[in-house]
């Protein structure tokens, strides 16, 4: 098995430098990092397994990479992950990757070293290759990362269908979908597919507006205002609840009454939305069950890195009916 010294020799740097690169510690040039990572790949160096075999024990730490806990959906998810893992004797190292792919990459490097037993990731900045080479047990939430990384999600397709059926039953004739920019192979794009399938079968008119998930709420609000001002929309499906809150704000400003003039349905159904916006009809993702499933799978992989797991685990969603579609 390759050692730090082998890598140092091949990369033409000191063993200390190699250790710093692996642990992402101290200031290092991109050139040095690149040389060390190239040598690690060449020698198939597995810092984590090595460290473990040397130490003979696990760290009881799990890395959690998510877009950001400032968003109540991920806030609730992290709280649930931390709570459930704590009861099993694990602690979490939290990374809010936002849309910063360099930060996510740095965390992955750091987690690849001997710091965590496994990773839960719900982020989507990096390409497949970067997750493929991590060499640690990983479970993904709702994002395709690599062929051997299981994805846990709620039933996005059924959620989209439910949203369409609800808007149709509430009498909407001219619908708008407001969604983030989805990657084609991302499970969340199934929300759109499910929605469109129902509308297609029933010959209902609709339009799709993509607004990037990471846009600021002000930018999103401007686009929503445009949608509401220019069109005869009477039903809107937002693929997340926060965007639905912005629609409510803009509609109020424009004198459009919900649900009289406009029906509205969101997606996610966090505790926060249920508590503080019970008026919003939404599709609820079962966050606690999703987390239970992710942790169960991750601990299986930690126990036995070669255990066979499915590619996809899909949990049911629920319609929560509020006043915005009645």
Q: Which residues of the shown chain bind a second copy in the complex (CB under 8 A)?
A: 23-26, 60-61, 68-72, 75-76, 78-79, 82-83, 86, 89, 91-96, 103, 106-107, 110, 115, 216-218, 242, 245-246, 249, 271-272, 275-276, 278
Tokens of 199: 């509308």
Half-sphere exposure for 144 (CA within 13 Å, toward CB):
10
Nearest approach in angstroms of CB 274 to a second copy is 9
Omega of the bond leading into 258 within 30 degrees of 0 (cis): no
DSSP code string of 128-171 = HHHHHT--S-EEEESS---TTS-EEEE-HHHHHHHHHHHHHHTT
Provide the minimum distance between the beta carbon of 278 and a second copy in the complex, in angstroms, as a whole number.
7
Of the two residues 147 and 275, which places its CB atom closer to a second copy in the complex?
Answer: 275
* Cβ neighbours of 6 (radius 10 Å): 17
User: Which lies closer to a second copy via its Cβ, residue 169 or residue 326?
Assistant: 326
User: In sequence order, which residues have a C-beta less than 8 Å from that of residue 42 and are 6 or more positions away?
Assistant: 10
Taking the complex as a whole, the smallest distance from the CB of residue 92 to a second copy amounts, in Å, to 6
Question: Least Å distance between CB 70 and a second copy?
Answer: 5
Structure tokens at 253: 């400003």
Q: Which is nearer to a second copy, 6 or 279 (CB)?
A: 279
- Residue 272, C-beta contacts closer than 8 angstroms, at least 6 positions apart: 72, 75, 76
Least separation in angstroms between residue 104's CB and a second copy is: 11
Rounded Cα–Cα distance for residues 246 and 78 (Å):
24
Which of 98, 168 has the CB closer to a second copy? 98
245 Cβ contact list (under 8 Å, min separation 6): 266, 277, 280
Residue number, 248 or 317, with CB nearest to a second copy: 248
- 22 vs 19: CA distance, rounded Å: 5
Q: With 0-12 CB in 10 A as exposed, 13-18 as middle and 19+ as buried, what is 307?
A: exposed
Q: How far is the CB of 81 from a second copy (least distance, A)?
A: 9
Residue placing its CB nearer to a second copy in the complex, 23 or 125 = 23
Residue 319: CA count within 13 A, CB half-sphere: 16
Nearer to a second copy, 75 or 314 (CB): 75
């Amino acid at each position: 098995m390759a050692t730090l010294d082998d890598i140092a020799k091949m990369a033409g740097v000191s063993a200390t430098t190699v250790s710093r690169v692996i642990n992402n510690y101290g200031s290092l040039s991109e050139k040095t990092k690149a040389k060390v990572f190239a040598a690690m790949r060449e020698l198939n160096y597995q810092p984590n397994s090595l460290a473990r075999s040397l130490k003979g024990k696990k760290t009881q730490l799990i890395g959690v990479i998510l877009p950001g806990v400032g968003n109540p959906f991920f806030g609730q998810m992290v709280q649930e992950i931390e709570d459930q893992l704590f009861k099993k004797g694990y602690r979490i190292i939290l990374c809010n990757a936002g849309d910063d792919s360099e930060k996510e990459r740095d965390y992955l490097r750091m987690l690849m070293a001997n710091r965590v037993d496994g990773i839960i990731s719900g982020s989507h900045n990096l390409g497949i290759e970067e997750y493929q080479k991590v060499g640690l047990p990983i479970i993904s939430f709702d994002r395709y990362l690599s062929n051997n990384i299981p994805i846990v999600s709620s039933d996005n397709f059924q959620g989209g269908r439910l949203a369409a059926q609800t808007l149709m039953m509430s009498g909407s004739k001219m619908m708008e979908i407001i969604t983030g920019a989805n990657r084609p192979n991302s499970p969340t794009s199934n929300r759109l597919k499910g929605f469109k399938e129902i509308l297609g079968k029933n010959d209902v008119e609709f339009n799709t507006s993509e607004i990037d998930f990471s846009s600021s709420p002000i930018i999103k609000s401007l686009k929503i205002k445009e949608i509401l001002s220019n069109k005869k929309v009477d039903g809107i499906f937002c693929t997340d609840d926060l965007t639905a809150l912005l629609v409510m704000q803009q509609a109020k400003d424009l004198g459009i009454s919900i649900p009289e003039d406009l029906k509205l349905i969101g997606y996610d159904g966090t505790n926060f939305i249920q508590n503080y916006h019970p008026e919003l009809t939404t599709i609820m993702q079962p966050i606690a069950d999703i987390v239970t499933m992710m942790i169960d799978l991750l601990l299986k992989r930690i126990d036995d890195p070669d255990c066979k797991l499915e590619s996809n685990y899909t949990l049911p969603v629920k319609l929560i009916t509020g006043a915005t579609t009645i």
